[in-house]
Amino acid sequence: MNMHAPLVATDSLLTRTEVAGLVALAARTVPPLWPLESAIAVNPLAGFEHLPFAQAVKQAATLFGARTSLPVTGWRNLVERGRIDERALRDAAIGHLGGVYGAMINVAPGVMAIDLLMARLLEEERSKTEDVASCPVPDAAFIAKWCAAFFDQSISASPMPNRALGLYRAVLSLARYDGEYASLAGRQGQTLLLTVPRDPYEAIAEGLAECGEGREPLDHLSSLVARLPGWAGHIRWRTEHADRERVTSAPAGMADLLALWLLLERADALSEPAGHKQTTAAGHWLARHFALDPNRLDAAKTERFNAIASLDDGALGAIFMTAAERTLSNRLVPKLTGAARSAVRDERADAQVVFCIDVRSEPFRRQLEQLGHYETFGYAGFFGLPMALHPAGGGHRKRLLPVLLSPQHDITEAPVDGKTGEAHQIAAEESRAAKASDLFDAAKLGSGSAFATAEATGPLAGLAMLARTMAPRLADRNRNRREARRQQSLEPRLDCSVSNARGNGFSLSDKVGYASALFRLTGMKPDTARLVVLAGHGGSAVNNPYAAALDCGACGGHAGGSNARVLAAMLNDPDVREGMAEQGFAIPQDSWFLAAQHDTTTDAVTVFDRDRVPQSHRAELTTLEANLAKAGKANRARRATLLDRTPDDLLTGAAHWGEIRPEWGLAGNAAFLVGPRHWTSGIDLEGRAFLHSYDWQQDPNGEALTTILTAPMVVAQWINCQYLFSTIDNDRYGSGDKVTQNVLGGIGVVQGNGGDLKVGLPRQSLFTDDGTAFHVPQRLLTVVLAPLKRVQAVVEANDILARFFGKGWVQLVVIDPQTGKALRWREDCAEPDEGTIIHSITC
Amino acid sequence: MSLAQQTAPAGTGVIVRIVPAALWAGLAIVTGQIVFAAMTSAQADWLGLTLSALTLFLGAVVASYSSRYMRADAAPGTFFVRLAGLVASVVLFLNSQTLIGLAVGWIASGLLLAALIGHKGGWAEARAAQRRTLRCFIAGDMALLAAFGLVYLSTGTVKIAVIGTAFAAGAPATAIAVSALLLVAALTRCATPPFAQWLLSSMTAPTPVSALMHAGMVNAGGFLLIRFAPVIEAAPAIRYAAVALGFLAAIWGIGIMAVRPDIKRSLAGSTVSQMGFMIMSCSLGAYAAALWHILAHGLFKAWLFLNAGSAVGMRAERLPALEPRMVVAVAAITLVAGSVMAASGTAGTEMVPLLLAIATGAATMGTIVFARIEIGSRMALAGMLIVLAVVHTLGVGVAQAIVPASGTALLPAPYAILLLAAFLGCWVWQMRRVARQESLPAQLYVRLLNLGNMPATNAGDRS
């Protein structure tokens, strides 16, 4: 953690500015945690990305009390099921032993080092470890309780007193009434309540001076931040990413949280940080298993024997993970090198469809491509539009863009021309529903009205339960119809955006810029097909706290249809086309752009604004829609086997309020492929790859590649790491079992009665019903089809890329389009190979 | 690379399918019995049948829901067997005509519920919650057994039907002792303070279990009080105590609900409150009102719990409130109406629940009429409210047909008016605070927030 000049606590207190600096640095221990209604995947170890991967995992595990790897039994399950090749595992084990020579060396007569290691990996007796939720320790429970009460946005009717004072001061004002504080902090704690500074920064300074003897202040604060990573992450979201108006009622920063922790520490109420028990006494087992007597080995052999016998689960897990990564690259890279010189079909396609790079698009694209001469593309699902949408009927604006960016344009949702009446009706219905739900909430809360409310609404609730349980699709149909009607009568309007309060709508040059970016980045040729569909995506799950995690991450955890509609509208605008032509992107007169949305849970595709399609294109649209439906059906059947259910049941699950796993989401994600579609179209990627279209020939100076690798790929890495770490320790880096989760409105979930806000993904998103990992924890494999020199220049010019590839967070393979040769980026710590930064993996 | 997962062991799969089917079948049978009894006007235990129908309906919904919700559970077989056992034991005690059957079903249901609260056995918090529940239930079970023992000793019978008449003529001291013990047993199941902690810390239970618990299981106390109404009516002192405890629980529970930031414990606070109200109604002698409350609240709460996953959205505007001035006006009018009823001697045992229901309707209607929304929407909402009022009236009517019209009145009219005034006064105070976004007094707030928290568990408790 010692990444900056050490600040040493002396007798004198740190100044406020110094403390503020330390707090800001310590805050980076955890990544921001977005509320579940707009869930964003983040790497729980984002604060450790400056370290090599293995080291980061280890340090974070110590700090967070987490595991460093999936338990060995979990890995073995994956090997048994063929998800990890045994040969790849052997190769990885050999690699661990320093190559073939080190592996073949005899530890005892007839027993080679590799035999010992393989036995430990696959055969050593292991008790089955059950993944159980941890319980908050009293000090953490105290702070978590107050965080929940303070930050609550919607569930409690009676807000926490003194909230306007900020978290720290509000808790100070209440703690003297809190019996839990009294038993935790004792008499000293009561005295402290009266004497500690009211300013959190000053309180931190005092706390550090009192409790920080001999400790680096930054490390000290970082370890405190890491005690409740969920709430600390929530605070980071509030201070760095939330719209102001959403957080003003409860002002709090990381300093408040740290001041509370130091209050407890000064009262001597901190518990020992939780650690993970590591049992490694494999020596006896190994000796027995190979019938050898370790005492009779010579010194060198004993050393080798002990080195293998003392490998902990983290080290064994690292071998398994390497094996998983090799399993994928051994299967994928040869196919990709083989297809490197594939040629594009030159005739004009029947239609072109641009999908999100999301791993769930790939299998759908494959199905669609088989049904006609359809050309598909992968592009970030927000379609390059950094916008926020203000929904009709009020409510918070939705930030429909990746969290790396901030909104540049505020768009209003307004009635479609000619549908004002219907839009008005929808608005009235919505306000009526909102009023009814407000009345219900108010009535069920009142001490005079709560009882009659329950009695009067009970029978209706009974009918609703019956319908939603026995006929969920019927019960859900109304909601779907309403949603469909809403989509038809309301649209994100480009022209009213200028008139809104923020006054930052799209100018013509903006529009031309965003419209041509599609072609610049994806390498799509301007001679487009007669129909071009821009397909965003979203999931459909009911009664599911993690529904937004199924939506488009590039759209800030929302469905991507609105962005697609805005870009399609731009691309159909004659003025925009004129401007594009001046930049060299002359789109044929007869091309029509359409927006659509792919429902990843049901595989249905909704096409927007159909009635604007010119008469001349109607027949083609009908054919295309029929084929989209066919592709959806085929893809649903494919996904059904993965979920171990019938295809029809997926439709039921999408509407059923009890469905715990409506779809697999991005589970399985493992690769990020940058290149034209004809390069990958012959390979079944099994829904495990993000596909970003790219044509190196149209990107001579590497600008597009820079964008692709520094934006969409970074997001893919966040997703990949979220899945990876949520899988290896579902309690600490994930959110545990969904069935015992308890929702905090507008914020997230806790487990059971309370405790830290949960981060990451729930168990059901990652593991199959029998407890085997469905998501194989492995690091992202990025494969770029482009000349080596260009890739190298891009990577070296961008620190984040050099770090990702150099420190082993992402593996980079570059395939040269001319030679078809594959080269792997060498990690910083690996042995230099002939002095180059890249070494060949084809030989 | 085969990604397809393997299916669970065959035996478990069968259980997972059979339990929901069996519960729906059970519901069909009980419904058939009810229809048959209604058409032939045959002698039937209506109280037992109606509550069995409710329990089986909730059990069946919860089981069907769980067949999706619990699909990834580590021990689905155990879960479904316990669920079925829980429903069966509740149906057993509801329909038992003897003390023995009642006691067996009662105790079994408690043990099974506690086991389901601790279903995630590897989790220390779940085990602690299970232990807490068990301790409370065992206290209640002891009280129940002691009460039944006393009844048997003093009447010499275990037949519930004849116990009532025996007690009407019996010694008041025995009646008081038995009633007190029965009340303790009822309060432990209804999670009425001082027995509320188990329910407030039961969020370790999987969501469907919570639904069944809050909707089906907590009613057991109310059932007990109605079943043994003749005994308890012979002990007015105990009824006064029950009214007082019920009233306090009703208000206290509202307080818990108001301060909780999490959806599940907020609903638990609501259950404490609703059950308190039900106990109070029972003890006032308003059995029909209490029975209807049990039935409707069961459906209401199960729905809210099963729907708890939908609570993630953040509300845009400030919290809603009924128009405070409207509440003040309605409260005043209700109080006047109550006084008139009391003075004219038309106030029955059901006056308090009845007038509160009317006040709720009136305040809601008033808020709708003055709401700043279109006239059409206002009409629609008013229409919905009228439908709800009709449903409610019908429901109370049905309940009146099931239980003996009403018991002997407990409170003299002026005290009943005071009770009504207490509810209305709290309501006015509360709505004004909510409307002004004021918090509760700090000391009270902290107290309410901490209710149900687990005593500290040890660090590093994890495998």
CB spacing of B124 vs A767 below 8 angstroms: no
CA distance A457 to B230: 31
Contact list, A753 vs chain B (CB under 8 Å): 125, 129, 201, 203-204, 265, 452-454
- State residue A840's pLDDT score: 43
Structural domain includes residue A526: yes
Structural domain includes residue A398: yes
Residue that the structure tokens 């680096």 belong to: A216
pLDDT for A168-177, tens place per residue?
999 999 999 9
Distance of CA A55 to the CA centre of its chain: 22
**Pick the residue with more confidence: A827 or A66?**
A66
Q: Which of A380, A226, A423, A361 is nearest to A666 (CA)?
A: A361
Yes or no: say if A367 and A125 are a contact pair by the CB < 8 Å rule. Answer: no
- In the DSSP assignment, the letter for residue B216 is I
Give the predicted TM-score (pTM) of the model.
Answer: 0.94
Structural domain includes residue A5: no
Q: Which of A43, A154, A37 is nearest to A547 (CA)?
A: A37
Per-position pLDDT tens, chain B of length 463:
344 444 445 577 889 999 999 999 999 999 999 999 888 877 888 999 999 999 999 999 999 999 999 999 999 999 999 999 999 999 999 999 999 999 999 999 999 999 999 999 889 999 999 999 999 999 999 999 999 999 999 888 899 988 877 776 667 888 999 999 999 999 999 999 999 999 999 999 999 999 999 998 899 999 999 999 989 988 999 999 999 999 999 999 999 999 999 999 999 999 999 999 999 999 999 999 999 999 999 999 999 999 999 888 755 455 566 788 889 999 999 999 999 988 887 777 888 999 999 999 999 999 998 888 888 889 999 999 999 999 999 999 999 888 865 567 788 888 899 999 999 999 999 888 887 878 899 999 999 999 988 875 443 333 3
Nearest CA in chain B to A274: B460
Q: What is the DSSP string of A555-581?
A: GTSB-SHHHHHHHHHHHH-HHHHHHHH
Tally of domains in chain A: 3
Compute CA distances A115 → A108, A120, A293, A323, whole Å: 11, 9, 16, 16
The minimal CB distance from B297 to the residues A152, A458, A465 is found for A458
A639-663 as b/e, with b when 16 or more CB fall inside 10 Å?
bbebbbbebeebbbbbbbbbbbbbb
For the residues A449-478, what does the mean pLDDT come to?
94
Residue B106 structure tokens: 């009662």
Contact list, B452 vs chain A (CB under 8 Å): 753
Predicted confidence band of residue A276 (pLDDT cuts 50, 70, 90): low
Under 8 Å CB pairs connecting chains A and B tally to: 411
Q: What angle do CA A233, A239, A242 make, to 5 degrees?
A: 95
CB spacing of B315 vs A439 below 8 angstroms: no
Q: How far apart are the first and last CA of chain B?
A: 32
CB spacing of A659 vs B68 below 8 angstroms: yes
Residue B18 structure tokens: 């059979």
* Domain membership of residue A542 as a residue range: 351-667
| A321 CB-near residues (< 8 Å, 6+ apart) | A69, A777, A778, A779
For the residues A242-248, what does the mean pLDDT come to?
82
Element (H, E) at B432: helix B413-435
Structural domain includes residue A535: yes
Give the best residue of B54, B251, B314 to mutate against chain A (max A CB count within 10 A). Answer: B314
- State residue A280's pLDDT score: 59
Predicted confidence band of residue A275 (pLDDT cuts 50, 70, 90): low
CA R_g for chain A: 28
Strand A810-815 relative to strand A780-785, pairing: parallel
Last residue of a domain, one of A667, A697, A731: A667
Residue that the structure tokens 């007190």 belong to: B180
Phi-psi region at A393: left, alpha or beta (left = phi > 0; alpha = psi -120 to 50): left
Give the Cβ contact number of residue A251 at 10 Å.
Answer: 16
With 0-12 / 13-18 / 19 or more C-beta atoms within 10 angstroms meaning exposed / middle / buried, residue B166 is: middle
Last residue of a domain, one of A667, A688, A717: A667
| Residue A172 sits in the same domain as residue A287 | no
Structural domain includes residue A449: yes
B353-383 as b/e, with b when 16 or more CB fall inside 10 Å?
bbbbbbbbbbbbbbbbeebeeeeebbebbee
Contact list, B64 vs chain A (CB under 8 Å): 469-470, 658
pLDDT for A425-442, tens place per residue?
888 888 888 888 888 988
| Residue A169 sits in the same domain as residue A215 | yes
Residue B270 structure tokens: 């609501």
| Residue A317 sits in the same domain as residue A361 | no
From B229's Cα to the closest Cα of chain A, the distance in A is 22
Distance of CA A270 to the CA centre of its chain: 32
Yes or no: say if A601 and A654 are a contact pair by the CB < 8 Å rule. Answer: yes
CA distance A124 to A126: 6
**A286-292 contact pairs (CB < 8 A, 24+):** A286/A116, A286/A119, A286/A120, A286/A124, A289/A119, A289/A123, A289/A124, A290/A108, A290/A111, A290/A115, A290/A116, A290/A119, A292/A107, A292/A108, A292/A111
| Residue A200 sits in the same domain as residue A115 | no
| Residue A356 sits in the same domain as residue A302 | no
Q: Say if residue A498's pLDDT is above 60.
A: no
Q: What is the DSSP string of A709-773?
A: HHTHHHHHHHHHHHHHHHHHTTTTTS-B-GGGEEEETTTEEEETTB-SPP-S-BGGGTB-TTS-B
CA distance A308 to A295: 15
- State residue B407's pLDDT score: 67
Q: What is the DSSP string of A646-700?
A: -HHHHHHHHH-TT-S-S--TTTT--EEEES-HHHHTTS--TT-EEEE---GGG-T
CB spacing of A450 vs B254 below 8 angstroms: yes
ipTM: 0.94
| Residue A223 sits in the same domain as residue A330 | no
CA distance B59 to B87: 6
CB spacing of B261 vs A745 below 8 angstroms: yes
Q: Which of A266, A110, A77, A282 is nearest to A186 (CA)?
A: A266
CA distance B327 to A733: 48
Contact list, B322 vs chain A (CB under 8 Å): 439, 442-443, 446, 449
- State residue B1's pLDDT score: 38
pLDDT for A569-587, tens place per residue?
999 999 999 999 999 999 9
Contact list, B390 vs chain A (CB under 8 Å): none
| Residue A422 sits in the same domain as residue A456 | yes
| Residue A259 sits in the same domain as residue A391 | no
Residue A164 structure tokens: 């306007």
The minimal CB distance from B302 to the residues A448, A465, A752 is found for A465
Structural domain includes residue A4: no
User: SS3 helix, strand, coil % of chain B, rounded to 5?
Assistant: 75, 0, 25
Last residue of a domain, one of A604, A639, A667: A667
Contact list, B392 vs chain A (CB under 8 Å): 452, 455-456
CA distance A543 to A36: 13
CA distance A278 to B215: 44
**Pick the residue with more confidence: A836 or A591?**
A591
pLDDT for A622-647, tens place per residue?
999 999 999 999 999 999 999 999 99
Q: Say if residue A6's pLDDT is above 60.
A: no
| Residue A364 sits in the same domain as residue A291 | no
Structural domain includes residue A454: yes
CB spacing of B266 vs A177 below 8 angstroms: no
Give the best residue of B56, B312, B372 to mutate against chain A (max A CB count within 10 A). Answer: B312
Structural domain includes residue A773: no
- State residue A820's pLDDT score: 87
